[in-house]
Amino acid sequence: MGLRKIAPEFMASLEATDTAADALRISRQFQDQQLLKQIDTYGQRTGLPPTHIGTPNPPHPDLPAIHPAADPKIPPQREVLPQAVPYSDAAARNSVIQDFAVTLEGVPAVSPGIHVPLDSPFNPQALPDFNEWRLPSPDYYAQWSSGSSAGDGISRISPSELRFGGVPLVKDAQAAIARTGSDDLRIIQKMLDQHGEDVAGLLHQYGIKGRKSIPEFDGVDDVVARLNESLANLAEVRRRGYPYLFDSKKQFDEVKSAILDVAGKRGVDPADVEVVVQGSSLHKLTAGDIDIALVVDAETFERYGRQFLENATLDKVAKQIGKDVKKGKLPANRWAPREGSDNLGVIMYETLANGAKIQISLMKEGGEYLVAPYLR
């Protein structure tokens, strides 16, 4: 089917023109219309929105350098048409009608090369202003990580599809990224592949915090940026060897020694435990407290649980210890038997400035309350 049949309005407008410049303008408008139709068709076929068929947005400047940088292409610039130039003769008019473009002295053609004859089968890709770079393969967008729609248009993914160690993230971690776009989820998967349990644990902590403090919690804002900040802070803590809220490594070491002394006076052998710091004090400068765990294997934890139950003096304390054993977490005030006095209260409530608390517990290795990242 030729253009005479499929574009009668275009033909009528073209035949009514008085200048070559007008003819070129009309023909270019027609080309643009056909190009938009082709882009729409391509978008329907691929799922990409029209706004992403062409030069995509550059990556966000705050994203980590763990993905390729986009290299947007620059579209060719149109030549500026001159002012209206009258047709030189009837032959020129016929040339426009028959050839879709005309070259008069001083008037540029639509583009160099062969143009589509009006009566030949119509192929939009043969239009002189149609550029293949506008329609890259959908895979072309997969390398970009900025925004939430370019990658989403290729194939959407959900938080449940992210993996750490071959298994899905825990429920709270998935909740932290519940409304994160597919592009950012792909970044998080790369971070999980690179940083392992640190990223999985951070997401877990974000989810726990959100669930406890925000009604109808539906995820963390700008979670990729937050992960980057947390990982940077964590790296600094591990480099210097002590968590935030402590003034120095010396102070931290003194507190660890004091905690082990308390453990010994409350029936816990310091030789059985590993002192581990977890929680926000490892990755957040303004953490509200410090969480220190004395970690033991499962068998040793069960043994201490029975010991503490046997030495409980109140029924309600015994019941609470039973619940704590199931959780894999026994707070220091449950430890028994006690041998003399100790300074547990001073350690917990008077060591840190601004009223920050040190929480101390005996924890089972692999228990649900032992959440990465750690300072061991």
| Least confident window among 48-62, 132-146, 286-300 | 132-146
- Is the pLDDT confidence value at 321 over 70? yes
Confidence of residue 170 (pLDDT cuts 50, 70, 90): very high
**How many residues are given for the chain?**
376
Beta strands (DSSP E) in the chain are 163-164, 167-168, 274-278, 289-296, 329-331, 357-364, 374-375
| Beta-bridge mates of residue 361 | 293, 331
- Is the pLDDT confidence value at 78 over 80? no
Cα separation of 200 and 164, whole Å? 7
pLDDT on residue 7:
67
The mean pLDDT value for 194-206 works out to: 97
Q: Which helix (H) or strand (E) covers residue 94, if one does?
A: helix 90-99
Query: Which token pair is 294?
Result: 């004395």
Q: In this predicted model, what pLDDT tens digit does every residue of 42-60 receive, in sequence order? A: 667 666 665 555 544 444 5
Give the closest residue to 7 by CA, choosing from 130, 95, 116. 116
Q: Please state, rounded to an integer, the average pLDDT across all residues of the chain.
A: 78
Burial class (CB in 10 A: 0-12, 13-18, 19+), 239: exposed
pLDDT on residue 36:
72
Higher pLDDT pick, 41 / 179: 179
Helix (H, G, I), strand (E, B) or coil at 19: strand
Q: In this predicted model, what pLDDT tens digit does every residue of 178-198 receive, in sequence order? A: 999 999 999 999 999 999 999
pLDDT on residue 129:
44
Q: Are 19 and 85 in contact (CB under 8 A)?
A: yes
Produce one character per residue of 339-369: b if its CB has 16 or more CB atoms within 10 Å, e if not. eeebebeebbeebbeeebebebbbbbeebee
| Least confident window among 92-106, 216-230, 308-322 | 92-106
| Least confident window among 11-20, 73-82, 325-334 | 73-82
Confidence of residue 34 (pLDDT cuts 50, 70, 90): confident
- Is the pLDDT confidence value at 75 over 70? no
State the Cα angle at 20 between 18 and 22, rounded to 5°.
Answer: 70
Cα separation of 119 and 7, whole Å? 11
| Least confident window among 92-106, 170-184, 216-230, 233-247 | 92-106
Higher pLDDT pick, 117 / 178: 178
Residue 137's CB is within 10 A of a number of other CB atoms, namely 9
pLDDT on residue 55:
44
Give the closest residue to 251 by CA, choosing from 351, 359, 349. 351
